[in-house]
Amino acid sequence: MNVPKWLAAVVVAVVAVLAVSLWRATPPAQRLHFAAPAAAQAAVEVPGEAPLIAPVSDVTPLDKEAKRFNRYDKNKDGAITRDEYLANRRKAFAKLDLNHDGVLSFDEYSVKAIAKFTTADADRNSKLSAAEFATTAVKRKPRTKAVCPPASARAAPADEAEAQ
């Protein structure tokens, strides 16, 4: 059966118009929304079991900012002075200033990079081959995956409670 292309186009157009009109007729509250609210708890339904609810952190961005403010406000007077603000930078500078002369030379600044290069240069020719260079890549910790007990193990304590 050969359907003319114009007829197929008309059918598709009619279906599209019907879909749009149906979508517009549906109140916004009843439409599907795919983005969940930020503070929503995720519930996982397993047939025959109580839903598993993922915990939601009570820490708000304002709480995080208050903690950060308190870390900087060393004398706890409710204000951060210039010295309090720069204290962390002074500690970082002091760690790098190996000879404690108050001046940071390039060698002091790049001591970790120099040590990394020296360690990677296995043949001590002051050049890194591709294999040697690969050893300088940042080693990141692998992401840990959540380990959930099987459904039978979660149901066991409830079954024991019913048996008693």
pLDDT one-digit tens code per residue, 17-26: 888 777 677 6
In a domain, 7, yes or no: no
- Classify residue 36: in a domain, yes or no: no
pLDDT at 96: 87
Write down the pLDDT at residue 145: 77
* Per-residue model confidence (pLDDT) at position 13: 87
Query: Does 86 fall in a domain?
Result: yes
In a domain, 100, yes or no: yes
Structure tokens given for 36: 């969940």
Mean pLDDT value across residues 119-138: 90
Residue 121 is assigned to a structural domain of this protein: yes
State pTM to two decimals: 0.35
H or E element in which residue 43 lies = strand 43-44
Identify the H or E element spanning 53: strand 52-53
Instruction: Work out the number of other CB atoms within 10 angstroms of the CB of residue 71.
Output: 12
The CA-based angle 123-125-128, given to 5 degrees, is 80
- Whether the pLDDT of residue 115 is over 70: the answer is yes
Give the range of the structural domain holding residue 92, as residue numbers without chain letter. Answer: 81-137
pLDDT in tens, 55-93: 777 778 788 888 888 888 889 998 889 888 888 888 888
Contacts of 128 (CB under 8 A, 6+ apart): 117, 120, 121, 136
Residues 6+ apart with CB under 8 A from 151: 46, 49
User: 131-163 pLDDT, tens per residue?
Assistant: 899 888 888 888 777 777 776 655 555 555 555
Percent of the chain with pLDDT over 70: 72
Res. 102: pLDDT tops 70: yes
Total structural domains within the chain? 1
- The reported pLDDT for the residue numbered 122 is 93
Q: Give the C-alpha separation, 52 to 137, whole Å.
A: 40
Span between the terminal Cα atoms of the chain, in Å? 69
CA 158 to chain CA mean position, Å? 35
Answer yes or no: is 92 within a domain: yes
Residue 58 lies in a domain: no
pLDDT at position 41: 47
Three-class DSSP category at 122? coil
**Is residue 164 situated within a structural domain?**
no
